[in-house]
């Protein structure tokens, strides 16, 4: 039987070929070890001129600051995203932008709000992708309050921020922002992207349930429908089970280990551990799907996660060299 490829299949087949090539250019563990034994940041940058970071590195001339180095490292991720997203059909590309660029915008908004509330003059923001510029983020940090920030942001972020700032919730400000964004994604995606958003719903719901359980708060009004693995009866079982029983409910899902390892012996929850574990579970599931269905948007999303992680590891290594931090401590940063 002859298989006829449609326009979407042809575009994604080409994208998969590009992704395969980009995978081969990702840095390896031995590269990071080499960077940590380098004499200086300049030596690291010289080595990077032979990698996918070359075009950005060549822009650095004369004296340069650490922030300028970080900016050119970000350029490689931005170029990869723009190249790959250009191979996605237009309707799906708009949804992909909402997911990928939206994730960067949302984290930058959170950082700007934290800095403003804590009286810090500079926020740790990364305007790598997205529509919110570094200038806007700087103005947000120096604004008198969240209400003033709202007017600086385009939609849908202004609505997210306004809603999160007005709502009193056990979930906290950051997770209310996530909740607004994911609800928007649920109504704006379908197909493979909708399945990926389902993983984000799972992660959000599990954080909400465990936070509510740890605070003796009813979690039923803090979860969203539309999860990928934790839905229907399983979601209901999560809501009605006690905290110690939650890992058993999640057996057979990608999140079992993350939730099990985050619950403390005294009945509390290690939320930083939970966050890391859930993020790892989502990324592992995405990687699995990309191998199962290589000619798909899963392959693009999985590669972008790897490229993002590479950028942050590389930034950590260079910052460590810049501030003369010991190699053992830097290894902990990038582990």
Give residue 134's pLDDT: 87
Asked if the structure places residue 71 within a domain, the reply is yes
Confidence check: pLDDT of 179 > 80: yes
Chain segment 201-211, per-residue pLDDT in tens: 999 999 999 99
When divided into structural domains, the chain yields a total of: 3
Asked if the structure places residue 305 within a domain, the reply is no
Asked if the structure places residue 304 within a domain, the reply is no
Asked if the structure places residue 266 within a domain, the reply is yes
Compute the Cα dihedral for 125, 130, 131, 133 and give only its sign.
Answer: positive
- Domain of 131 in residue numbering reads as 89-168
At residue 2 the predicted structure's pLDDT band, cuts being 50, 70 and 90, is very low
> 93 and 83, same structural domain?
no
Average pLDDT in the chain: 91
**pTM, rounded to two decimals:** 0.90
> 147 and 133, same structural domain?
yes
CATH of residue 241: 1.20.1690.10
Asked if the structure places residue 175 within a domain, the reply is no
> 142 and 53, same structural domain?
no
Confidence check: pLDDT of 128 > 60: yes
Residue after which a domain boundary falls, among 118, 137, 168: 168
> 94 and 76, same structural domain?
no
Asked if the structure places residue 302 within a domain, the reply is no
Give residue 170's pLDDT: 66
CB-based contacts of 136: which residues, under 8 Å, 6+ apart? 152, 153
Compute the Cα dihedral for 255, 335, 105, 117 and give only its sign.
Answer: positive
CATH of residue 116: 1.20.1690
Asked if the structure places residue 131 within a domain, the reply is yes
Please give the average per-residue pLDDT across 229-255, as a whole number.
Answer: 96
Please give the average per-residue pLDDT across 47-61, as a whole number.
Answer: 90
Chain segment 281-334, per-residue pLDDT in tens: 999 999 999 999 999 999 999 999 999 999 999 999 999 999 999 999 999 999
Read off the tokens for 97.
């932008």
Between residues 127 and 206, which one has the greater pLDDT? Answer: 206
> 73 and 147, same structural domain?
no
Give the residue from 112, 51, 40, 110 showing the smallest Cα distance to 79. 51
> 70 and 158, same structural domain?
no
Confidence check: pLDDT of 39 > 50: yes
CATH of residue 70: 1.10.132
> 194 and 107, same structural domain?
no
Give residue 130's pLDDT: 85
Asked if the structure places residue 299 within a domain, the reply is no
> 130 and 204, same structural domain?
no
């Amino acid at each position: 039987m002859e298989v006829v490829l449609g326009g979407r299949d042809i575009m994604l087949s080409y994208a998969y070929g590009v992704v395969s090539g980009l995978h081969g250019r990702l840095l390896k563990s031995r590269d990071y070890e080499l960077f940590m034994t380098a004499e200086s940041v300049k030596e690291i940058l010289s080595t990077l001129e032979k990698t996918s970071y070359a075009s950005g590195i060549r822009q650095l001339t004369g004296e340069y600051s650490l922030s300028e180095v970080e900016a050119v490292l970000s350029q490689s991720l931005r170029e990869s995203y723009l190249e790959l997203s250009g191979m996605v059909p237009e309707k799906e590309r708009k949804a992909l932008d909402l997911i990928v660029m939206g994730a960067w915008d949302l984290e930058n908004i959170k950082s700007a709000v934290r800095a403003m509330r804590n009286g810090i003059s500079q926020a740790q923001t990364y305007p790598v992708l997205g529509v919110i510029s570094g200038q806007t983020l700087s103005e947000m940090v120096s604004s008198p309050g969240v209400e003033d920030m709202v007017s600086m942001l385009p939609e849908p972020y202004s609505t997210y921020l306004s809603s999160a700032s007005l709502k009193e919730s056990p979930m906290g400000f950051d997770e209310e922002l996530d909740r607004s964004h994911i609800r928007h994604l649920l109504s704006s995606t379908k197909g493979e992207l909708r399945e990926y958003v389902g993983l984000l719903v799972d992660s959000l719901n599990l954080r909400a349930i465990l936070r509510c359980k740890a605070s003796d708060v009813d979690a039923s009004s803090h979860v969203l429908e539309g999860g990928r693995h934790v839905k229907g009866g399983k979601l209901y079982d999560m809501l009605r089970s006690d905290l110690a029983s939650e890992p058993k409910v999640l057996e057979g899902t990608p999140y079992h280990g993350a939730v099990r390892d985050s619950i403390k012996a005294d009945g509390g929850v290690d939320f930083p551990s939970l966050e890391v574990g859930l993020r790892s579970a989502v990324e592992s599931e995405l990687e699995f799907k990309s191998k199962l269905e290589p000619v798909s948007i899963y392959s693009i999303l999985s590669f972008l996660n790897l490229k993002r992680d590479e950028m942050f590891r590389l930034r950590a290594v260079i910052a460590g060299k810049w501030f003369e931090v010991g190699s053992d401590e830097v290894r902990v940063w990038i582990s």
